[in-house]
């Protein structure tokens, strides 16, 4: 059975805002220049390979889908934002990866029950607003005995702190929307999946980021390339004092995480499990 999306006006409006936010800036550059290694790390952890049918949920430009396809797996990449899918198609073509790109909501995936051997999400499904609904869908489309694997930014790590910082500069989220970095807590993920998933591994590791010379360069890149940050600055467009404050805060955050020569470590949770039933 394929679950139909919530058709309430409030939900449609929320998803439209999410779609528009991730189309802002240049997320393909973030994926390819800042965190290119994350997708391959997840694919390896899930032991993806030939003969498997794989779904990358909230795939963006295919950070996990493309390396999964290059292992010989049959891969579908699903995302809410059409411009990211178009960028992913072009990137996959350049890398010689065969991927089936589909528009779809992580909270109402357009696939039948048990369709995939492996269901992946690399810093993607964590941004779906309703965590329980997204978790339910990851389980539903995975076959019994299949693998679910995710990389999610942790609440305590750099990206978790980035979202905590931006919270002071953006409108409050709609009722019922949960913070994305909660997905980086193993306890939260365990609560979402319960006994529907077994043989769980949950490891905190870090992406080594050496793209930025200093905090100011990080700030300037993210304020023009990363959708949530671009949206925060647009919200403040008529308030130059708060724009200046956000400028200082973003550069300061990156400076505090600089381990020398512009190198940062961004903590993430690498989580895998096997669907029961």
Three-state SS sequence of 39-98 = HHHHHHHCCCCCCCEEEEECCCCCCCHHHHHHCCCEEEEEECCHHHHHHHHHHHHHHCCC
- What pLDDT score was predicted for residue 63? 97
Question: What is the pLDDT at residue 2?
Answer: 37
Pick the CATH number of 9-156+170-207+266-275 from 3.60.15.10, 3.40.50.150, 2.60.40.10, 3.40.50.300: 3.40.50.150
Q: How far apart are CA 43 and CA 216, in angstroms?
A: 33
- Residue 72 is predicted with a pLDDT of 98
What SS3 state is found at 224?
A: helix
- Give the pair of three-digit tokens for residue 198: 């077994």
Please tell me the distance from the alpha carbon of residue 208 to that of residue 134, in angstroms, as a whole number.
28
Please count the residues of the chain.
Answer: 277
Cβ neighbours of residue 217 closer than 8 Å, sequence gap 6 or more: 262
Taking the domains of the chain in order of start, what are their residue ranges? 9-156+170-207+266-275
Dihedral of the alpha carbons of 19, 21, 26, 32, in degrees to the nearest 10: -70
Tokens in use for 28? 């393909």
Token readout for 225 is 């390339």
Tens digits of per-residue pLDDT, 187-232?
A: 999 999 999 999 999 999 999 999 999 999 999 999 999 999 999 9
Q: What is the largest CA-CA distance in the chain?
A: 56
- pLDDT beneath 70: ranges in the chain: 1-7
Q: Does the predicted TM-score (pTM) go above 0.85? A: yes
The per-residue pLDDT for 174 is 86
pLDDT of residue 8: 74
Report in angstroms the alpha-carbon separations of 225 from 102, 137, 197, 240. Answer: 23, 29, 36, 20
């Amino acid at each position: 059975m394929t679950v139909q999306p919530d058709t309430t006006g409030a939900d449609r409006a929320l998803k439209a805002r999410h779609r528009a936010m991730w189309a802002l800036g240049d997320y393909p550059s973030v994926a390819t220049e800042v965190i290119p290694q994350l997708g391959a790390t997840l694919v390896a952890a899930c032991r993806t390979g030939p003969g498997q049918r794989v779904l990358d949920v909230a795939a963006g430009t295919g950070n996990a889908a493309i390396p999964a396809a290059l292992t010989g797996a049959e891969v579908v990449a699903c995302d809410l934002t059409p411009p990211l899918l178009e960028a992913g198609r072009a990137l996959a073509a350049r890398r010689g990866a065969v991927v089936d790109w589909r528009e779809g909501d992580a909270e109402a995936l357009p696939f039948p029950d048990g369709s995939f051997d492996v269901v992946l999400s690399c810093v993607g499904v964590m941004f779906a607003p309703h965590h329980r609904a997204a978790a339910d869908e990851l389980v539903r489309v995975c076959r019994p005995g299949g693998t679910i694997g995710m990389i999610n930014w942790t609440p305590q790590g750099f990206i978790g702190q980035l979202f905590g910082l931006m919270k002071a500069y953006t409108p409050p989220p709609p009722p019922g929307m949960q913070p994305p970095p909660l997905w980086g807590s193993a306890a939260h993920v365990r609560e979402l999946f319960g006994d529907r998933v077994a043989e769980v591994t949950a490891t905190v590791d870090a992406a080594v980021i050496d793209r930025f010379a200093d905090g100011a360069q990080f700030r300037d890149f993210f304020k023009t390339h990363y959708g949530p940050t671009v949206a925060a600055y647009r919200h403040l467009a008529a308030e130059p004092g708060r724009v200046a404050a956000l400028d200082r805060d973003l550069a300061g955050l990156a400076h505090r995480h600089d381990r020398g020569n512009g190198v940062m470590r961004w903590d993430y949770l690498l989580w895998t499990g096997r669907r029961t039933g």
